[in-house]
Each structure stands twice: as structure tokens, then as C-alpha cells.
Amino acid sequence: MSNGPLFIFDLDNTLYPPEVTLWRIVDERIEEYVRRKLGTDPETAHRMRKAFLAEFGTTLRGLMHHHGVSPDDYLEFVHDVPIPEIVPPRPELREMLSGLPGRCVVFTNGSEGYARRVLDALGVAGMMEGIYGIEFMEYIAKPSPYPYAKLLRVTGARGEDSLLCEDSRNNLLPARELGMFTVWVGGNEKESPAHAVVKDVCDLPDVLHGFPPMSRWNGGAARGASGNGASRKARGTE
């Protein structure tokens, strides 16, 4: 059974801004893993990785399908980074999340363990009801429709009562097809397939008036327009 709206958050470059270099470091380690595992040069590794992404949506899925790579071996290597030294705490993120009238979960193509370490560094791990990573997805990653439908089924949420914050344009499309309210973090409004665009995830309260379930809260006003859930602009911290 659902219990209020479900707020679904991607992890990398969504809960922290792209100025934080974590994803770039992980991305470089993915390239290195492909090069080492397949014994090839950097240019060939990059070309093969692009082909995997086009065919399967993730490098891991391509490596598993074509080369029998162990997902545990891959994830351990690419996520072997000193996260606390790279990702600073985000008290403004914690404040924003505390003002949301519903459940919050993370939905990421990364591993659950990696996501938990990032959330710990950000200071918001305790605010997430669940972490749904690539293991939960059975290695069938976003933007495949399968993990989105599985997430709704496991959480007991309806698509129309769910909101997805995501920095990847392609990953928004299946969510919208399932009836979710979609928010493109750092996106381009002119090319947006999403219902709303925000510069930073902490600005989410600015667009909650468009999320239909919010009309059932606070007499139709989106909680977060003031108080704990206020956006950075409303708090004067932008």
C-alpha cells in the first residue's frame, strides 16, 4: 500500500551537482576497467563502451552479455573511490528532503553499496526509505522500462502518485510513460521531455505545485513553499 507521494531520486549528478567530480572519476574507472578486462587500447575500449551503451544502456550489461564479466568484480572496481574526500555534505539537501510530504527513495544504475556511501557523505542516508540500485534492477538498468515498473510494484506506489528527479534526459522517458511526474535536474527547458526543469535538486519545492498529489496536502499548496522545504531561492541561499 502506498503512503503518500513517492519521491524518487537518481543519485549521481542529481543529488549532488556536476561540479562535484565523483561521477567523472567513476566514469574514468569504467573506461579503465574495459581496457584492462579486454586487453585493448584506450581508443578501442572507448568505442566498445559506446557500443555497449547503445545496445544495453550500461557498460556492465554489455560486458556481462558479450564477455561473461562478473557484475561484482566490475562494480567493486569502478566504485573503488574515496567518496568522503570527493563529496561534501549538503545540509541544504537534507533541509529540502525533510520538507517533502511523502517517502523518499534512491533509484540508481550504481550499486546499492556505492549509493549508500554517497548518501552518507551527503548526510542524507537516514532520510531515504530505500535504495534501489543495479542489483535490484537485476542488471537491467535505466532507461529500460523494467526497473521502473518493478520499483512501483515493490514500493506499492502508483505512477501518478510518484515523482522522479533525474539528470539524464533518456531516463525520464519511461517514468513519464508510467504516469510519473518528471523533473529534469540541470536540464534544458527548450528540449525537455519532463514536466518540470530545475537547476539543482534543492530547487524541487519550486515546481511541486505542478505535481498533482500535492493538491491533497496543505489545502492545495505544495508543502515546502515555506519553512523546512523552502527552495534555495526562497531561503536566500542561491
Is 83 contained in some domain?
Answer: no
Whole-prediction pTM: 0.90
The reply to whether 114 and 147 lie within a common domain is yes
Beta bridge partners of 212: none
Give long-range contacts, CB 8 A cutoff, 24+ apart: 62-66: 63/34, 63/37, 64/139
| 29 CB burial (10 A radius; 0-12, 13-18, 19+) | middle
Is 102 contained in some domain?
Answer: yes
The reply to whether 174 and 109 lie within a common domain is yes
Parent domain of 37: 22-78
The reply to whether 74 and 10 lie within a common domain is no
Is 84 contained in some domain?
Answer: no
The count of structural domains within the chain is 2
Per-residue pLDDT of the chain (238 residues; tens, 9 = 90+): 456 899 999 999 999 999 999 999 999 999 999 999 999 999 999 999 999 998 888 999 999 999 999 999 999 999 999 999 999 999 999 999 999 999 999 999 999 999 999 999 999 999 999 999 999 999 999 999 999 999 999 999 999 999 999 999 999 999 999 999 999 999 998 889 999 999 999 999 999 999 999 877 655 444 444 344 555 655 455 5
Handedness of CA 118, 103, 146, 18 (dihedral sign): negative
Is 1 contained in some domain?
Answer: no
Q: CATH number of the domain that 10 lies in?
A: 3.40.50.1000
